Amino acid sequence: QVDLVESGGGLVQTGGSLRLSCAVSGGTVRTYAMAWFRRHPGKEREFVADIIRFSPFTNVADSVKGRFTISRDNAKNTLYLQMNSLKPEDTAVYYCAASPNPARYGLETDYPYWGQGTQVTVSS
């Protein structure tokens, strides 16, 4: 059983930065397809970014491209999401997800393991 625990959310002003962390236990972050999703109030969960297992290759949603960066630290067994130039529309609950198998782009049903989420609020 893989456990994912997100942290780093909070309240930030427009243009600010936050770094989200996802601590992984019960598995090795390098061997899992890892991703960040988010859910805006009253909306469906949407894909933010992913990182391919066993490789450094990443994908980022168009809505955050150039502002958000996904990465992992194999030594710390942790996934990160660096968020810069934050906008009010980035306000959401952010979720970390993991899959032991290759995951298709943006498809949340490919990820069997999820964290509890961390709230990010961007004030205007």
pLDDT band at 83; cut points 50, 70, 90:
very high
**Tokens matching residue 75:** 């030594």
Task: Give the pLDDT score at 30.
Answer: 95
Which DSSP string do the residues of 24-88 spell out, in sequence order? EESS-GGGSEEEEEEE-TTS-EEEEEEE-TTS--EEE-GGGTTTEEEEEETTTTEEEEEE-S--G
Residue 39 has pLDDT above 90, yes or no: yes
Q: What is the pLDDT of residue 1?
A: 87
Share of the chain above pLDDT 90, in %: 98
Edge-to-edge strand ranges of the sheet holding 68-73: 3-7, 18-25, 78-83, 68-73
Question: Stretch 88-105: mean pLDDT, rounded?
Answer: 96
- C-alpha–C-alpha distance, residues 68 and 94, integer Å: 13
